[in-house]
Every structure is written in structure tokens, then in C-alpha cells.
Amino acid sequence: MELFLQLLVTGVMLGSIYALVALGWVLIYKCSGVLNLAMGELTMIGGYVCLSLYIRFQTMMSIESAFLLSLLGTLFVGLCLGLITERLFLRKMIGEPILAVIMVTVGLSFFFKGMVFIVWDTDTQVFLPRVFPIEPFEVWGVAIGQVYFWSFIASIILMVVFVSFFKYTRWGLSMQACADDEMAALSLGVSAKFVYALAWAIAFMAAGVGGTLLGNINGLNYSVSLLGLLVLPVVVFGGLNSIPGAIVGGIVIGILQNLSGGYLDQYFPGGIKEIAPFVFMVFFLLFKPFGLWGWERIERV
């Protein structure tokens, strides 16, 4: 029971990071119907950007202040990169077939990956000095690593900020309007180009923070981009166009990954925890093709 509770709690905290990255994926799909297959690389870029800023700032101030300032800098860099990427590569694809836009995101994933290897090398890099203490603390007999706990808190705060932005701000409501009915939104004066640019910017920001938190847990290397791809089972489970589904899906996949690693690795050595979410996704699609809260498309002839 202690092992189960340990895996469950850690899975919830890890899943909150997946949920944060999934928000960016869902947002792009809601606005444009495009699956952004470069999300893993965006996650990796965000982690490296935050690490570079942290190395520069930690010599001038306390560790906590340096990390918070680096996190804010990562959000700003993600905003700028998202706007630039949308303007240079994706705006010209408006009106083109969805498959063509998806292939552009595949090309972007290779481009971003190459840029990361050129700028930051391929060796594993860590946040030094450590941002979070190594010593865990216990809650009801369950040991919780501080890096997992504070990553969970940061993810929850940012998810609340993003969801509040979608529900209560003019720009967020414009994005929802475009997602529901683009032609009706255009007739009301909503700029589709601005909405798409903002969607990509927020996706970059969410992925960047997710990469930062994952980098504090496991270090930064090529595998962070693979962890970013775990967002795909998350959004498929919750529904490709459902923000609540992204949050619930992230928690479920995080728990599933941890439990499978804790209980099945002894029988299937070799990384069963990385495979389990995709196996779950395949079987889930057989019974619920649109996810828990995805929009079901009904075509009448």
C-alpha cells in the first residue's frame, strides 16, 4: 500500500506537468484543427532557455529569485518564438489542407531539434545549484520529492491562469469563438490571424514551462522531447478540443505511467512506463474515438 500511494501521488504531480503542456496542444487544435507534432521539441527548447537564463541570473541573486526570473523570461521568450513561428511558417498555410499544415509542424520539429543540438549540445545538463532541495518530506507516511511538489504547485497555478484567460478575457473569448464557429467569429469582427498567432504563442509558453519543470526532475537532454510526446495520449484521452479533458487526461496518464513503471518493470524490463500510455491510447480509441469530452463529428448525407 505504501508503494501504491507513493506511485499514485508522484503520478498525479507528474501528470500535472503533462496537463500543462497539453493545454497548448488542445488550444492549437481547437483554433485550427491542426495537430502540432513539434510539441516535444517546444518542450525541450523551453527547458534549455530557462537553464541558460538561470545560469546567468544565479550569479547575481539568490537561487529562488534567479529561477523565478528565469521562468518569467522563459514565458516571454516562448511568447516571442510562438508569434515569430506563426508569422513565418504557419500564416501562409491558412486555407491549405490540414495534412499540409501538420507536415509543416513535422518539419518544424526537426528544425527545432537541430537548433537545440547546435546551440546547447547533446550532453545532459542540469540546473546547478539545484533549485529544489533533494530531501523529500513526508505527508501521511508518503515521501514526496520537493521537485515534484513544487512542480505540481507551479503547474496548477499556470493552468488556473490559462483557463481564467480563456474564460474571462476578451482575447480568450475570441479564441473560443473562432474554435466554435470561425465564420460567425469573423462576422463579429474577430481577427482569425490574431487568434491563431495567440494560440501558437500560448502553446510555446505552456510547453516551455513544462520543459523547465521536467528538466528539474530528470535533467535536460534529447529525452525531454520524447517526454513531450506523452502529451499525445493525454489529449486523445481527454478529447482533442477539451481543456478540462487535457487536465484530467494529464493526471490519468501520469498515474498510469508511474503505476506501470512501479509494478510492470520487473516483468517487462526496458522502459515499459514510456510505452504504457500509448498502449492505453490505442485500446481507449477502440471504445471512445473522440475522447472523454471531445466533440463528436456527425455527418449527414
For residue 76, what pLDDT is reported? 93
Query: Domains of the chain by range and CATH?
Result: 2-287 (1.10.3470)
Among left, alpha and beta (phi > 0; psi -120 to 50; other), residue 239 is: left
Q: How far apart are CA 27 and CA 31, in angstroms?
A: 6
**Main-chain phi, psi angles of 142, to 5 degrees:** -105, 125
Q: How far apart are CA 190 and CA 207, in angstroms?
A: 26
pLDDT tens-place string over residues 87-97: 888 888 776 78
- pLDDT, one tens digit for every residue, the chain (301 residues): 788 888 888 889 989 888 888 888 888 887 777 788 888 888 889 989 999 999 999 888 888 899 999 999 999 999 999 899 888 888 887 767 878 888 898 899 989 988 888 888 878 888 888 888 888 878 777 788 888 888 888 888 888 887 788 778 887 778 777 766 667 777 777 777 888 888 888 888 888 888 888 888 888 888 788 776 778 898 889 888 788 888 889 999 999 999 998 888 878 776 788 888 999 999 998 888 888 876 665 555 5
Exposed/middle/buried for 12, CB within 10 Å: 0-12, 13-18, 19+?
middle
Question: If you search the block for the grid coordinates 511538489, which residue do you land on?
Answer: 149
pLDDT tens-place string over residues 146-174: 888 888 888 888 888 877 887 788 877 78
Q: State in Å, rounded, how far the first CA of the chain is from the last one.
A: 54
The one-letter amino acid code at 66 reads A
User: Rounded mean pLDDT of the chain?
Assistant: 84
For residue 69, what pLDDT is reported? 94
Enter the C-alpha cell of residue 107.
518539419
Q: How far apart are CA 11 and CA 97, in angstroms?
A: 38
